Amino acid sequence: MFSIFDLSLQLNGFPIRKAKSDLDKIVALSPAEKRQFIENQKLTIVEFHLENNAFYQKLVGSKKYTNWEDLPILNKTNLQSPLEYRLSKGFTTKNCYINKTSGSSGTPFIFAKDKYTHALTWASNMYRFGLHGINFNRSLQARFYGIPLDFMGYKKERFKDFLSRRFRFSIFDLSDAVLEKMLKKFETTKFEYLNGYTSSIVLFAKFLRKRNLILKDICPTLKVCMITSEMLFEDDKKLLEMQFGIPIVNEYGASELDLIAFESRSVGTENQWQINSETLFVEILDENNQVLPYGKEGRIVITSLFNKAHPFIRYDIGDIGILDEKSTLEKPILKQLIGRTNDVAVLPSGKKSPGLTFYYVTKSIIEDDGNVKEFVIKQRKIDHFEIEYVSETELDLAQIQKIEQAIALYLESNLHFTFIRKNTLERTARGKLKQFSSFL
């Protein structure tokens, strides 16, 4: 019997019952069967698109290929052509799921999934959240996400929230007065889990710390907190665990694909990011598009194993990461997610460093006294950076010197900084906070 969330998917043409059944069968495969399934699915999806998708045929340059490694890398620039040119035979904007990426990579585009693949995405979400005791049809979610502010977009999202058993806290205003209202909602509502953007949930935890409150004491029904879309640093994770009193689960996903990795807390795999190998195939490549061995840092390239409406084959998602040395084809583990390929700082010495290195070094100092709520770093010139921050009082000279000394120690000296105190920080239309940006 369908519950309301499953029923809403089914009525909109997404075969969730079949998707759940099929996913259960994939999960139940033995390691040897899983390896064979992945190889078969890779072959099947490539052959389908070479036969039925003119866009992919043109990208490959042929209807035939010899080796998987010879297939081209699909990047986001390739996908910025009109969607109708990228759809496979038999698929239109009327019989697919259509959406747009958030643009956090700086290269937004419209994409499509066939309805079965979209149902499989939801089945994958339900399965992974279910490992933490969450049922999408019954568990009430406290959702920390952005929301469209136009009338129709706002009403549409609120209706989807109703069907999905979630209450959305708009994160465009996170002043203490608004956080106080959020806290009141937790006092009167039987939420089972939190889900949303890292920066917003961390800010809520800091508010609780200032008030010396534990969220689980206020809302005893809470089981778990899932954070997504932005980097989660270890000290922030400890803060969340302390102030919420529940497990914190880190997820990594992309709207055009699926959940890519989800933190596993099963016996023997504590704190491991288990990669979704049921609907995706993940590779780590070097700058020459060569596959790197497990344990080596490189570009994350992903293949959607089922999407027939639109090819995502060897798709460079724009992130840098490492697969754990303990990974296998059937059970890959994401050891580290380092950041986006376009979030790299180029320094005067010629050194290149992930922009989040600045953020990480600065963060450890800037938040020592709890004065600073959140901040972002922007590279304006090769030797000049702006640090925009929200705080109760301005940073003093000693704090600024400490930050500059730490960056000189961990990166290089003779870098210049401008510190700009703000009331709020700029977020994307969806409410994400971009922690480092280079404008070179």
- CA pseudo-torsion sign 255, 190, 131, 120: negative
Q: What tokens were used for 308?
A: 């027939």
| Helix, strand or coil, per DSSP, at residue 377 | strand
Residue 371 CB coordination number (10 Å): 16
Q: How far is Cα 48 from Cα 273, in angstroms, rounded to an integer? A: 31
Count of alpha carbons within 13 Å of 367, Cβ hemisphere only?
Answer: 19
DSSP state of 51: H
Q: What tokens were used for 221?
A: 């029904």
Q: What tokens were used for 19?
A: 């998707």
Contact in structure between 302 and 281 (CB atoms under 8 Å): yes
Contact in structure between 180 and 204 (CB atoms under 8 Å): no
Per-residue pLDDT of the chain (440 residues; tens, 9 = 90+): 457 788 888 888 999 999 999 999 999 999 999 999 999 999 999 999 999 999 999 999 988 888 999 999 998 888 888 899 999 999 999 999 998 875 555 456 889 999 999 999 999 999 999 989 999 888 999 998 876 666 777 777 788 778 778 898 877 777 888 899 999 999 999 999 999 888 889 989 999 999 999 999 999 999 999 998 777 888 889 999 999 999 999 988 888 999 999 987 644 445 688 999 999 999 999 999 999 999 999 999 999 999 999 999 999 998 889 999 999 999 999 998 877 665 678 889 887 776 767 777 787 677 655 678 888 889 999 999 999 988 888 888 888 888 888 888 878 888 999 999 998 888 766 667 778 888 88
φ, ψ dihedrals at 159, nearest 5°: -65, -40
Residue 49: CB partners within 8 Å, gap ≥ 6?
56, 57, 88, 308, 311, 313
Contact in structure between 197 and 432 (CB atoms under 8 Å): yes
| Helix, strand or coil, per DSSP, at residue 93 | coil
DSSP states along 144-177:
EE----SHHHHHHHHHHHHHTTEEEEE-S---HH
Q: How far is Cα 111 from Cα 310, in angstroms, rounded to an integer? A: 7
Largest Cα separation within the chain, whole Å, is 66
